[in-house]
């Protein structure tokens, strides 16, 4: 059974006629976009924005109407994956490198539903290295600052080249160990010049739909 597909298809049940939808990025969001496409072809009327070039391409192939940002004031709902999530719906995102666009879109959504298989649901964040988006300018100095924070940063590569985000930036994957205080770390990272944003999503997710290996899904609601 494909647990990512299971979670994604359950989450798509929250998509209703007339909504503006944010489309996430990654192999779990892939299944949500496919399912939304199927429902659009059956008559569902929505408008959407995508969080990456890859998701935009997939949405176009699926016939999902994409709308420019200047024609929308915000979104009703975004469905996106995560690399880790805890019970309070703090997230680590950015494994696919789309964290900045994903965070902008999530911030402007009334609801953010996270879809994941059960392996991503953890007691404490930090096993997955935290992606930090940095500008190319003086990257060595920014990496050194991250190192001083105890991050053990690794500049992300792809096919032996530095990975470049859709925004023209780089990703430093940072191992902080167990993240005891995600809010504080998030604030500290944003205070570093050269850091554009980081994969900690705090107070943004409203619900998580988790696919379980026994074929069930668990829905976790935010208490905020
Ligand atoms: O944050 C992301 C991309 O930037 C993805 O949502 C996250 O990496 C999860 O990906 P997948 O669904 O492929 O496991």
Residue 118: CB partners within 8 Å, gap ≥ 6? 3, 210, 211, 212, 213, 218
Mutate to test the pocket of ligand 1, among 24, 25, 209 (most ligand atoms within 8 A of CB): 25
Q: Phi and psi dihedrals of 49, rounded to 5? A: -125, 155
- Separation of alpha carbons 84 and 93, rounded Å: 7
Residue 3: pLDDT above 90? yes
Residue 223 lies in a domain: no
116 and 134 together in one domain: no
Which atom of ligand 1 is nearest to 115's Cα?
A: 12
187 and 207 together in one domain: no
What's the 27 CA to ligand 1 centre distance in angstroms?
A: 7
Annotated active-site residue 133? The verdict is: no
* pLDDT the model gives residue 49: 98
116 and 155 together in one domain: no
- Separation of alpha carbons 203 and 103, rounded Å: 11
**Residue 140: CATH number of its domain:** 3.30.70.260
More confident residue, 207 or 1: 207
36 and 100 together in one domain: yes
Residue 224 lies in a domain: no
22 and 108 together in one domain: yes
Find residue 133's DSSP bridge partners: 171, 197
State mean pLDDT over 178-185.
98
* pLDDT the model gives residue 224: 72
105 and 211 together in one domain: yes
26 annotated to bind ligand: yes
93 annotated to bind ligand: yes
Residue 57: pLDDT above 80? yes
* pLDDT the model gives residue 89: 98
Query: Using 50, 70 and 90 to split pLDDT, how confident is the model at 112?
Result: very high
206 and 100 together in one domain: yes
Domain extent, residue 84, equals 3-121+202-215
**Residue 12: CATH number of its domain:** 3.40.50.1360
Residue 222 lies in a domain: no
Q: Collapsing DSSP states into helix, strand and coil, what is residue 220?
A: strand
185 and 86 together in one domain: no
Residue 220 lies in a domain: no
Residue 1: pLDDT above 90? no
12 and 87 together in one domain: yes
State mean pLDDT over 128-140.
98
Residue 219: pLDDT above 80? yes
Residue 145 lies in a domain: yes
Query: Using 50, 70 and 90 to split pLDDT, how confident is the model at 63?
Result: very high
Residue 140: pLDDT above 90? yes
Nearest residue CA, atom 3 of ligand 1? 96
Residue 77: pLDDT above 90? yes
151 and 48 together in one domain: no
215 annotated to bind ligand: no
What's the 208 CA to ligand 1 centre distance in angstroms?
A: 14
157 and 139 together in one domain: yes
96 annotated to bind ligand: yes
Find residue 171's DSSP bridge partners: 133
* The dihedral formed by the CA atoms of 192, 205, 23 and 53, expressed in degrees to the nearest 10: 10
* pLDDT tens, residue by residue, 14-39: 999 999 999 999 999 999 999 999 99
ipTM of the complex: 0.98
State mean pLDDT over 29-58.
98
7 and 37 together in one domain: yes
**How confident is the prediction for the chain on average, in pLDDT?**
97
Residue 117 lies in a domain: yes
Number of domains in the chain: 2
User: Is 146 in contact with 192 (CB distance < 8 Å)?
Assistant: yes
Residue 223: pLDDT above 90? no
Task: Enumerate residues lining ligand 1, CB below 6 A.
Answer: 24-29, 80-83, 93-99, 102
Mutate to test the pocket of ligand 1, among 81, 91, 132, 173 (most ligand atoms within 8 A of CB): 81
């Amino acid at each position: 059974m494909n647990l990512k597909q299971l979670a994604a298809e359950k989450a798509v049940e929250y998509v209703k006629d007339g909504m503006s939808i944010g489309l996430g990025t990654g192999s779990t969001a892939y299944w949500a976009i496919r399912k939304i496409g199927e429902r659009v072809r059956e008559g569902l009327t929505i408008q959407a924005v995508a969080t990456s070039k890859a998701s935009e391409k997939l949405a176009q192939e699926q016939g999902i109407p994409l709308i420019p940002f200047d024609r929308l004031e915000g979104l009703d709902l975004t469905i996106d994956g995560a690399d880790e999530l805890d019970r309070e719906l703090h997230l680590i995102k950015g494994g696919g490198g789309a964290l900045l666009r994903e965070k902008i879109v999530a911030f402007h959504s009334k609801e953010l539903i996270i879809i994941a298989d059960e392996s991503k649901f953890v007691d404490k964040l930090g096993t997955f290295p935290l992606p930090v988006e940095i500008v190319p300018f003086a990257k060595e100095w920014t990496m050194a600052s991250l190192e001083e924070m105890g991050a053990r940063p690794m500049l992300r590569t792809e096919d032996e080249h530095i990975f470049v985000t859709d925004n023209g930036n780089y990703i430093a994957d940072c191992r902080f160990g167990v993240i005891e205080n995600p809010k504080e770390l998030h604030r500290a990272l944003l205070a570093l010049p050269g850091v554009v944003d980081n994969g900690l999503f705090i107070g943004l997710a409203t619900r998580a739909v988790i696919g379980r290996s026994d074929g069930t899904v668990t829905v976790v609601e935010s208490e905020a």
